[in-house]
Every structure is written in structure tokens, then in C-alpha cells.
A and B are shown apart, each in its own frame.
Chain A
């Protein structure tokens, strides 16, 4: 079963706008990760946030984590056409080295 679930399933925005997607999970975690997948490609790691962190930034990406609500959000600011991809959250559910992936949010950035 999937530990993390992303919301929304799909998102369409204009270039330059911000994109926000959310991830909810069920059990306690050590860390939560976000990955990007371009069409026909493998997943690429974007950012990892540990359970004792509340916010993390990487370039135009901002990730928040609320362990009390068991949720995380990924914000992409000033979106570009190249940001068109599927975005997945992954949690470890305190099971060591295994990750559980959600079904993903598909983001389309319109020029």
C-alpha cells in the first residue's frame, strides 16, 4: 500500500506562476523526499527533509513538513516549461532503507 498520497493529481499553470502540491502520509517517518520524473525518464531526487525539520529550500523549490498533520508541501516558484513533469513524494515510514512512493502529481506548465 502507498504510504504517501499527493494532491492534486494534476495541475496546469502558466509559466511564471507558482505551483504547489501536497503529500499526506499515514505513519511516522524519519524523512520525506520529493522526486521529479520527466516523461519517459527515471526519477530524479529533488529534496530530502528530515522529521525534525519544518522547511527546506533548494533553488526555486520550497518544501515544508508538518509531522503533526502528517503532511508535506512542495512549492515551485516562478515555474518554467522545463518544470513540466510528475512529482512524487516518498516516505520511509521508519522502515529503514525502504521508501514508499505516492501516485504523483502531474504538473503542466503552459508557455
Chain B
């Protein structure tokens, strides 16, 4: 099993450009998450999904959109990139267990630099 994979690994954008980050998991997990990690801030939840076709806002959703058209994929979009979105983005997935937060499995991350 590949677990959780993320594409691309690294990207440089100019302010105002758009891009999509792709996350794929092969563990048949219901829940998927997008986080951003900034120095000294830990991980902050951007958006999450509790199943195919569903998405919800996390702690810092502004400037991002997501889609979960297939159970195994969770896409994170930046419509108009800003320097404040320079960060490392992590995708994670977890199984469902009565609605409780269980172990999350993380991808390797995408480093995004917005100039």
C-alpha cells in the first residue's frame, strides 16, 4: 500500500496564480483532511471531508477550496495565491469509528512558495 500520497512535492507560484494540490489514499478511509504547517504554529486544519461528495471548513479555510469527488481523492485548490499561503501542506486520512477522531495517516507534504 502506498498509504497517503501528495502531488506535487514542491511548487513555486506567483501572486494571483492558481493551483490544485492532489491527495490520494488507498486505505479506503472515509475521512480526509488538509492541513497547513507554518513555523512555530503546529498544524492548522484548512478543510476536511467525512465522505465522498462532502466537505467542511476547518480552522483556516479562507482562500482555499476543496473537492472530494472520489472517496480516495481530496483536492485542495488555491484560486488566487497570496504570499501568506506560503506553507507546507499536509493531507491526512483516517477511518471512521462512531464519529470519533482516530489515528490519522499523513502524506509527505507539499511545499508551496508564493512570490
Residues of A in contact with B (beta carbons under 8 Å apart): 1-2, 30-31, 33, 35, 40-45, 48, 88, 90, 92, 95-104
**Cβ–Cβ contact B42 & A43, under 8 A:** no
Q: Which residue of A lies closest to B50 (CB)?
A: A97
Which residue on B lies nearest to A45, using beta carbons? B103
Question: Does A98 contact B103, Cβ atoms closer than 8 Å?
Answer: no
Contact A30 B100 (CB under 8 A): yes
Report the Cα distance A46→B100, complex, angstroms. 18
Q: Is B101 an interface residue (CB 8 A)?
A: yes
Chain B interface residue count, CB cutoff 8 Å, equals: 29
> In the complex, are the beta carbons of B48 and A92 less than 8 A apart?
no
List B contacts of A44 (CB < 8 A). Answer: 106
B35-61 CB contact bits vs A (8 Å, 1 = yes)?
Answer: 100001111110010100000001100
A-B pairs, 5 with minimum CB distance: A42-B106, A92-B101, A101-B43, A103-B42, A101-B42
A98–B104 alpha-carbon span in the complex (Å): 10
Q: Assuming the A-B contacts A98-B48, A101-B42, are A42 and B108 also in contact, with contact meaning beta carbons closer than 8 angstroms in the complex?
A: yes
Q: Does B31 contact A (CB under 8 A)?
A: yes
Distance between Cα atoms of A95 and B58 in the complex (Å): 12
* CB pairs A–B below 8 angstroms (13 shown): A31-B101, A33-B104, A41-B109, A42-B107, A44-B106, A48-B102, A88-B43, A90-B101, A97-B31, A97-B102, A98-B45, A98-B48, A102-B42
